Structures are given as C-alpha cells and as structure tokens.
C-alpha cells in the first residue's frame, strides 16, 4: 500500500536542506507509528520516496512524498485513519512543515520525480521595479531560443531552455521588489529558478521563492499529483509521457 502526501515548507524551516527534510520524515513516521515498509537487506531503510528537491531557502506549499506501508502490519491505516492522517502527522512535524493532503496511490506508480512535468513558482526579485521586471519578462518570452551553459556530471552542457518556460508574468510588487509568477517544465532536465533569474538579469537579487504547485500530465491534461488517475503504468499515461 502506497500513500502520497502533500506538504508545505514555509517560514524558518525553509533554510533546511532536502536531506534534512528527508530525515525529519523518517523520524516523524516512527513517532506517529505509521507502519512503514522497510527495504530488505544489509541495512534496512524505510521506504520513503521524495519528489523533486527544493533548494535550501525556497518555500513551498506543494511538496510531495510517497510512503510504502507494510501491508502485513495490524496497524495498517483504514480509510478513516487516512483521513485523519494529515492532522496527525502535522502535529508531529516541526513548525513550517504541514501535511495538506493525502491519497492512496497504486504501489507501482511512476515516481514523483519522473511523473511531475512542471512546477509553478512565486519568485520575488529584490530591488527591481515591476516595470523593469516586465521588460525582461517580455524579452524572455519573445526569444526563439535561450541557450544556457550549465554543469552536468562535471561537464559543461549547453541547452536551449526556452521550451521550459511555460509561463512567465509579473504579478505584483513586494516591499522593495517585484513578484513574478513562473511555470517551468521539469522534464527531462528542468530549469531552476536561479537559472531563470540569471536569464532575466544576472545582477538581480533573488528574494523569497515559493513553489506553489507541481503538475503531472495525464492524457494531455494537467493534474495535481494527489488527484486524477494514478495508475501510472496505464497505457494512456505512458502515451502522454512519450508525447
């Protein structure tokens, strides 16, 4: 039995790393007594599957984790237990991490890292007027291609990242800065917020960044990872992913 949880990471705790959060989850699951399945072998580990890493310092209201439960356990949660699970786990999580959704998914679902096709971001740019930011946004959107060089396995790789920019818009101002909404594709390599910012203007200062949504693509339609058909190996999904 596999469950998928959606959780937030906001406030002071955004300064912890992806690895830190993973270790927090291992402890919290033991604390709430969720009967997690363990891997076999020399050094058994709880079977937790994390989604796309969130950079240290970024906030999110749309993080996901998949947890394999031990089917043979007498403590395997019922449907009612699952409904109560978000509150139960949130109470045990540190301040800033909160579970906001829970669903049962197929045990053989495609991993979050592969299934998620795009993420939406709320990006604060410090010390930049909305008008100036809008000019840079228009330039990026009007470009036919946007080549950047980045490191991959220690080698420089040049990519055209224009296809990754699904949407980009100035949405308002912040105290001394501009708020930009960005929708960025994550497959096959993705475009980081910091890379996007460098494309807009390498001198600009990143303020508060928050992931607001993650999307999977099923039959050409976007779904939140918690909803929609999650029979990941279905033909339709395989087709959608290939397209």
Partner 1 sequence: MTVWTDLEPLLAKVQKPARYIGCEDGVYTPDHHAGAASWLLAYPDTYEIGLPNQGLQILAEIINERPDGAAERTYAPWADLEALMRATELPLFSVDTHRAAGDFDILAFNLSAELTYTNLVNMVDLAGCPIRSVDRAACDLLIGAGGHCTYNPEPIADFLDFVVLGDGEEAVGDITAAVAAWKQDGKGDRLEILRTLAGIEGVYVPRLYDAVFADGMLVETVPNDPAAPPTIEKRTIADLGEWPYPKAQLVPLTEVVHDRLNVEVFRGCTRGCRFCQAGMITRPVRERPADQVRTMVSEGLKRTGYDEVALTSLSTADFSGIEQVVVDTVNDPDCGGQVSVSLPSLRVDAFTVGIAGEIQKARRTGLTFAPEAGTWRMRQVINKLIREEDLYAAVRSAYSQGWRRMKLYFLTGLPTETDEDTLGIATLARNCVAIGKEYHKNPSVTVSLGGFVPKPFTPFQWFGQNTREELSRKIYLLRDELRRDHAVKLKWHDPKATMAEGLVSRGDRRMAAVIEDVWRHGGTFQEWGEHFDLRLWQEALERAGLREEDFVYRHRTEDETLPWDHLSAGLHKDFLWQDWRDALAEVGLEDCRWTPCYDCGACTGYGIEHVVASAVPPAGGSQGTGQDLAVGGEVPVTLLPSRTGPPKAVPVGARS
Residues contributing to the site for partner 1 (CB under 8 A): 12-13, 15-17, 19-20, 23-24, 26-31, 38, 40, 42-44, 56-57, 92, 94-96, 206
As measured in angstroms, the least distance from the Cβ of 41 to partner 1 is 9
Spatial CB neighbours of 129, under 8 Å, sequence gap ≥ 6: 173, 178
Looking at beta carbons only, is 180 or 185 nearer to partner 1? 180
Residue closer to partner 1 (CB basis): 28 or 161: 28
> Least Å distance between CB 70 and partner 1?
9
CB of 58: closest distance to partner 1 in angstroms? 10
Kindly state the tokens that stand for 109: 């679902």
The helix (H) or strand (E) run that includes residue 237 is helix 235-242
Question: What's the min distance (Å) between Cβ of 145 and partner 1?
Answer: 30
Nearer to partner 1, 12 or 155 (CB): 12
18-52 CB burial, b ≥16 within 10 A, e <16: eeebeebbeebbeeeebbbbeeeeeeeebeeebbb
Looking at beta carbons only, is 44 or 135 nearer to partner 1? 44
Residues contacting residue 147 through CB under 8 Å, at least 6 positions apart: 158, 159, 160, 161
């Amino acid at each position: 039995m596999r469950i998928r949880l959606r959780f937030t990471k906001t406030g002071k705790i955004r300064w912890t790393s992806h690895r830190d959060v993973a270790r927090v989850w291992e402890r919290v699951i033991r604390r709430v007594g969720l009967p997690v399945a363990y891997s076999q072998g020399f050094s058994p580990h709880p079977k937790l599957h994390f989604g796309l890493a969130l950079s240290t310092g970024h906030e999110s209201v749309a993080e996901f984790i998949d947890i394999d439960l031990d089917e043979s356990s007498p403590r395997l949660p019922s449907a009612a237990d699952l409904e109560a699970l978000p509150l139960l786990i949130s109470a045990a999580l540190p301040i800033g991490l909160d579970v906001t959704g829970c669903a049962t998914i197929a045990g053989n679902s495609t991993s979050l890292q592969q299934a998620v096709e795009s993420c939406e971001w709320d990006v604060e740019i410090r010390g930049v007027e909305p008008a100036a930011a809008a000019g840079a946004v228009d330039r990026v959107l009007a470009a036919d291609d946007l080549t950047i060089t980045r490191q991959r396995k220690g080698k420089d790789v040049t990519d055209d990242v224009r296809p990754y920019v699904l949407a980009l818009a100035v949405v308002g101002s912040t105290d001394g800065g501009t708020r930009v909404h960005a929708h960025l594709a994550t497959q096959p390599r993705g475009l980081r917020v910091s890379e996007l910012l460098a494309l807009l203007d390498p001198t600009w200062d990143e303020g508060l960044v928050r992931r607001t949504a993650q999307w999977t693509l099923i039959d050409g339609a976007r779904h939140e990872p918690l909803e929609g058909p999650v029979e990941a190996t279905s033909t339709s999904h395989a087709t959608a992913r290939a397209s």
